[in-house]
Amino acid sequence: MRNYDDRKRVLVTGGAGFLGSHLIDRLLERGDEVVCADNLFTGTKRNIDHLHGHPRFEFLRHDITFPLYIEVDQIYNLACPASPIHYQHDPVQTTKTSVHGAINMLGLAKRLKVRIFQASTSEVYGDPSVHPQTEGYWGNVNPVGLRSCYDEGKRCAETLFFDYHRQHGLDIRVARIFNTYGPRMHPNDGRVVSNFIVQALRGEDITLYGDGRQTRSFCYVDDLVEGFLRFMDLGDDHRPGFTGPINLGNPGEFTIRELAEKVLDITGSRSRLVFRPLPADDPMQRRPDISLAREHLDWQPTVALDEGLRRTVAYFDALLSGRNN
CATH number for the domain spanning 116: value is 3.40.50.720
- Residue 76 within a domain: yes
68 touches 108 (CB < 8 A): yes
Q: Residue 52: inside a domain, yes or no? A: yes
267 in a structural domain? no
Q: What is the DSSP letter of 140?
A: B
Q: Can you tell me the mean pLDDT for 220-229? A: 98
Sequence-distant (≥ 6) Cβ neighbours of residue 8 within 8 angstroms? 2, 32, 33, 73, 74
Q: Which of 33-37, 60-64, 146-150 has the lowest mean pLDDT?
A: 146-150
The answer, yes or no, to whether the previous bond of 187 is cis (omega within 30 of 0) is no
pLDDT for res 236: 76
pLDDT of 323: 66
311 lies in some domain: no
Total tally of structural domains belonging to the chain: 1
Does residue 191 fall inside a structural domain?
A: no
pLDDT of amino acid 169: 96
Q: Which of 150, 164, 181, 220 is catalytic?
A: 150
- CA–CA separation, 254 vs 258, rounded Å? 6
Of 16-20, 73-77, 80-84, the range with the lowest mean pLDDT is: 80-84
Let me know if residue 164 belongs to a domain. Answer: yes
Residue 128 has pLDDT above 60, yes or no: yes
pLDDT of residue 279 exceeding 80, the answer is no
Are the CB atoms for 27 and 51 separated by under 8 Å? no
164 belongs to the catalytic site? no
pLDDT at residue 40 greater than cutoff 90: yes
Residue 75, pLDDT above cutoff 70:
yes
**Element holding 119 (H helix, E strand):** strand 115-121
Q: What angle do CA 103, 107, 111 make, to 5 degrees?
A: 175
Within 10 angstroms of residue 186's Cβ, the number of other Cβ atoms is 19
Mean pLDDT (whole number) for 54-70: 97
Q: pLDDT by residue (tens digit) across 234-278? A: 987 656 679 999 999 999 999 999 999 999 999 999 999 999 988
